[in-house]
Structure 1
Amino acid sequence: MRVLFTVLAMLAILDCPATARAEDNLNTVLDPIRTKYQLPALAAAVEKDGKLVAYGAVGVRVAGRDLPVTADDRFHLGSDTKAMTATLAGMMVDEGRLRWDSTIAEVLGPALPKLRPKFGAITLRELLSHTSGLPTDNEEIGKLYFSPDAADHPLTDWRLKMIEAWGSKHDPSFVNAGKFQYANLGYIIAGAMIEKASGKPWERLMFERIYAPLDLKTAGLGAQATFGEYDAPVGHRVDDKGKVTPFPWGESADLPASLGPAGLAHMSIKDFATWAGWNAGEGKRGPALIKPETLKTLHQPVVDMQIKDPKPGTPKTGSYALGWGLSKFDWSDKPLLTHNGSNGLNFASILVDVDHDLAIVVTTNIAGPHADPATRDVMKALYTKYAK
């Protein structure tokens, strides 16, 4: 079984621009890059001072079909969902339902009495900053994600069973060592803690506490196309020989639903820019989802990341906050908030410059070796155009 979870984005980091005219059309920037990297579709948007100033979408929804994308089409965000889960956690902290140092055992222990003590001692902050000592996705964790037993339980119950199955057998690989180790499982656990604290499923909270207040009308969860229709840019996979295959619907079109808190959001490029722009504002304007100081906590670096042998144009240094990475590029003069996301079929990048209240987002409906450099080229082009 080829496991999709291994390509859920290991955050990357990109940069952003600063001034623009009202709603510039970015298609002339995007189309040469899309053609160069042979992507089915490519979209991008820029938000400055809380206003959408530029956007574009080029290419097709399905490779080989004459179905042009639009700027209102839904794209998959992958691990860019993590910042939304961290924001939900911030809401629970603001409301006194959780603390950043709340432990797994403290919140979930009564329902999961078999947890090992060191596992149970992991805190919410450690889960959200990837400093918990939980491993990056491996074969054993993949069996939990793709277990046939998941169909026998409500989703919230299944998350708890997954947590107990792992936490009753494994200690963290390091404890309170301040090390970085990217772990999707950590965000599933954080999601379960949020569910326990709020009394509502993570999925419901996403719609009620983030999508609705920000008026993200295109936002949803899971595969972006309606079952049986090509009403959104569907995901594509590239095999070792370069063959491109679309995966429009069904179980093969996305990761299992249990991974929601780690990476299953989708929305249009314009709505994605709204989310990014809200973060760029750092609480200076509404809606007041969380306290400004809480939002700054989410954006504050927690741990340094070691970036070995970076590809040309990618950051050489970086850190991780809570659901966000921070990195400095060759074309940026400081570290910027950023994250990449992929479910193995799509790719999305977000970049936020809070000092200039500026945000850039880029999406494509394919993963593989060309998606990351293509989005980096777009980010660089937009930085050059709008930040100067």
Structure 2
Amino acid sequence: MRTLPAALLLAVPALLCAQGADPAGRWEGAIEIPGSPLQVQLELAQAAGAWTGRLSIPQQGAKDLAVDRLQVGGGKVAFILPGIPGEPAFRGELAAGGLQGQFSQGGRTFPFRLARAGAAADAARRVLEGLDAEIERIRADWKVPGLSVAVVKGGEVVLAKGYGLRDTARKLPMTADTLLAIGSVTKSFTTAVMASLVDEGRLSWESPVRTWIPWFRLQDPVATDRMTPLDLVTHRSGMPRHDMLWYNASASREDMVRRLRHLEPNKDFRTDFQYNNAMFLTAGYLTEVVSGAAWEENVRARVFRPLGMDRANFSVADSRKDADFSEPYEEEKDGSIRLVPMRNITNVGPAGAINASAREMAAWLKLHLGDGRVGGRQVLSPASLTFLHTPRMLTGAPQTQPEVVPGGYAPGWFTDVYRGHLRVYHGGNIDGFSAMAMLLPSDGLGIVVLANLGGTAARDLLPRVIIDRLLGLEARDWSGEGLAQKREALAKAREGEARKRMARKPGTAPSHPLADYAGTYEHPGYGTATVTLEGGRLVLACNGIRTPFEHWHYDVFNGLKAEDPVFEDQKLQFLTGLDGDIDALAMGLEPAVAPIRFVRKAEARLSDPAFLARFEGTYVLGSQTEARVFLRGQVLSLDVKGQATRELEPLRGTRFAIKGLPSFFVQFTLPGAGPATEVQFDQPNGIFTAPRKP
């Protein structure tokens, strides 16, 4: 409860222990405050007949606070912290499961549970005995070539193991140290870097992004002015994904952030949860601007090195240099498993480029389950850990199962409630890999599952199995239930696949010869799309991905199967200008907004001053009218007496549009060499020819 007084956070227990039991030692657990459990670490010691105690509450930065009025006798233990309002006290019993009872302060009472340090880990190891067979069954159920799993409980790694193969062709085993892509789990690392900069006073969660990046701009002026670092990492920008901005693209991070102004929003600012990788890209770029160091170096220095994540990296090319890395696999529509190429996404690294092992990720979970300190170094302040785990935006997800209550999105983490237990987690999917990193803070439990199969539900179901075991919950056949849902979904997908051609209009033909569609098309946000005619078929090249297209109907073409399937079944619509020529193409690259329109780019020579100089001159429209064409830099301009001077926008060949006058064009007649001989004015009221004045 956030309404509880801050003094609660410094409360010290009063414990009732079983007669004759020895409470000396280190205890760990939580005060079970609804919605906000507080982790407690208690140290009790006896020397020369006197008892001493120290208390820590990591989430609030309370470290080794000495207790007062400590009494042990008659099977009871009591102590308080002086100076705290509300007379805080714990009262409980020493039972087989540890120290448990009631905490009270200011008239409020909450249960607490503490266990001896190390006992929780040992108990977890015993409970997990026999889990291997269940993991192997789930791996087989979901056709996953290899899984790497780690579990943290009681501050220790109680399981770290690989299952299956990391390379099916060479029969190489998966291990706990195999490197796999963690995809969007990377986002939690980006927010950790941001939190460390906040801890240092160099960044503020609530100040506008333009404080550090003055040129930052979106289409929405309100979002432009008010967007904060917290907005960037909680998916409330008002923009949908627009993933083709970065997917397989070669643009720099700064360039992509500058392109955001050209991407259409579909919601108001801060009203709806819409997952957005580009905003996390921007957050990573922001850390570069603030720190003066690359995002990668910030992650290395602030996270990897303190945690000993020495093999974790940011590029699949670097993973391939390691002695223990996994190949990526995907499941085909027919159910077969195929090897796929690794996709390097370093340009959008802050949103999903980290590669790591399950054992290394266990260290990451331990940091978040602890007090943010590693080896004497405070990597993240306890306050920052609490901030990173607190939801700031509701996801709006419907409740589809009674066991899971949907929650919200914290900076870099999802939150929900699973069978009465708070979960803080993030999944990841990137070509050929799936990942899940999950925390149950009030239970001191962390789970990481890495898989070398893209989009597999095994990464979601396996943590449920582990949680049920460790928390003593009723067992469920989560894998079996998931498979039934998958079969139903596949049946619907096959039905839709079989009927997709019903949407095609038969008996139609393109409006132009196929050669007329070839050209280069541009969008200021998405970049360049090139269409070529190869072997009688149009081929699209976009972000380095090549896809052949078949005629679908009218001026719409359909993407065919290719080595890289991104544009398979993508519809490509060519648009005709008022002059009858193909002047643009449109693709539904972002379903939440109108099709993205790429404008046909003029030939390169139409920006070459040497070539354009051949059009300069005076052209005679009549005895009283002349038109002067002249060059300014790389742009031709038209000056007709009595009218405003207009720029000429290059189209193709020797044809130009008159800027600011829709449906008005000029076309020059150009001999094999030398200057143009005449210009033709093509306008709504007629076509007029003007010879060049000698």
Determine whether 1:175 maps to 2:265: no
Aligned to 1:118: 222
Is 1:130 aligned to 2:217, yes or no? no
Counterpart of 1:205? Answer: 298
Residue 300 of structure 1 aligns to which amino acid in structure 2? T
Q: Cα distance, 1:262 vs. partner?
A: 0.5
Shift in alpha-carbon separation, 1:320–1:361, aligned structure 2, 3 A: same
Instruction: Give 1:274's aligned amino acid.
Output: A
Aligned to 1:298: 388
Instruction: Provide the secondary structure at the position in 2 that maps to 1:297.
Output: helix
344, 347, 357: which one aligns with 1:258: 347
Matched, 1:377 2:461: yes
Aligned to 1:70: 175
SS at match of 2:125: coil
Q: Are residues 304 and 226 of structure 1, via their aligned partners in 2, closer, same or farther at CA, if it must alter by over 3 Å?
A: closer
Distance 1:257-1:284 versus aligned 2 partners, 3 A rule = closer
Q: Counterpart of 1:339?
A: 426
CA offset digits 1:74-128 (Å, max 9, x no partner): 1211111111100000011111111001322221125x58986434321110111
Alignment of 1:1-388 (within 5 A): 19-21=123-125, 26-110=131-215, 117-121=221-225, 122-136=227-241, 138=242, 141-148=243-250, 150=251, 158-167=252-261, 170=264, 173-177=267-271, 179-223=272-316, 226-227=319-320, 231-247=324-340, 252-283=341-372, 287-308=377-398, 310=400, 315-329=404-418, 332-368=419-455, 371-372=456-457, 374-388=458-472
Alignment CA distance shift 1:226-1:147 (3 Å): closer
The AA in structure 1 aligned to 2:307 is L
1:231-259, Cα deviation, whole Å (9 max, x unpaired): 31211122322232223xxxx41242111
CA distance in 1, matches of 2:218, 2:470: 54
- For 2:166, what is the secondary structure of its paired residue? coil
Alignment gaps of 5+ in structure 1: 1-16, 151-157
Using the alignment, how far apart are the partners of 2:157 and 2:130 within structure 1?
11
Give the drift of 1:378.
1.6
Distance 1:285 1:218, change over 3 A: closer
Shift of 1:383: 1.2
Shift of 1:282: 4.3
TM-score (norm 2): 0.47
User: SS at 2:171's partner residue?
Assistant: coil
Q: Is the Cα contact below 8 Å between 2:147 and 2:162 reproduced in 1?
A: yes
Show CA shifts across 1:129-151 (max 9, x none).
Answer: 11122222x3xx41444335x2x
Of Structure 1 and Structure 2, the greater strand share is in 2
CA deviation map 1:202-248 (0-9, x unaligned)? 0111111110001112311232774478731211122322232223x
Give the deviation of 1:72 after TM superposition.
Answer: 1.2
| Distance (whole Å) between structure 2 residues aligned to residue 345 and residue 352 of structure 1 | 24
* TM-score under structure 1 length normalisation: 0.82
RMSD between aligned residues: 2.7
Maintained 8 Å contact 1:349/1:375: yes
| Larger relative contact order (Cα-Cα within 8 Å, sequence gap ≥ 6) | 1
What is the letter of the counterpart of residue 294 of structure 1? Answer: S
Partner letter of residue 423 of structure 2? L
Larger radius of gyration: 2
Question: Is the CA contact 2:217–2:224 (under 8 Å) kept in the aligned structure 1?
Answer: no
SS in 2 for 1:175: coil
Deviates more, 1:180-189 or 1:95-104: 95-104
How far, CA to CA, are the matches of 1:83 and 1:114 in structure 2? 24
Q: Give secondary structure in 2 for the equivalent of 1:90.
A: helix
C-alpha distance after superposition, 1:160-206 (max 9, x if no partner): 111111225656731233x2111001100000111100000001111
Residue matched to 1:9:
none
Q: Partners of 1:191 and 1:234 in 2: how far apart?
A: 27
How far is 1:24 from its partner?
6.3
Deviations 1:12-66, CA, capped at 9 Å, x for gaps? xxxxx98413896853332121112111001211112321111221111123431
Amino acid of the residue matched to residue 147 of structure 2? L
Higher-helix-fraction structure: 1
- Counterpart amino acid of residue 174 in structure 1: D
Aligned to 2:533: none
Once residues 259 and 327 of structure 1 are traced to their aligned partners in structure 2, the CA distance between those partners, rounded to angstroms, is 27
What letter is aligned with 1:46?
V
Q: State how far apart, in whole Å, the 2-side matches of 1:86 and 1:59 are.
A: 33
Question: Matched residues in 1 for 2:393 and 2:217: separation?
Answer: 31
**Paired residues of 2:150 and 2:161 also in contact (CA < 8 A):** yes
Aligned in 2, Cα 1:299/1:202: closer, same or farther, shift over 3 Å? same
Shift of 1:300: 0.5
Identity %: 26
Contact 2:329 2:452 in 1 (8 A): yes
Instruction: In structure 2, give the amino acid aligned to 1:385.
Output: R
Structure 1 residues 226 and 319, CA gap change in structure 2 (3 angstroms): closer
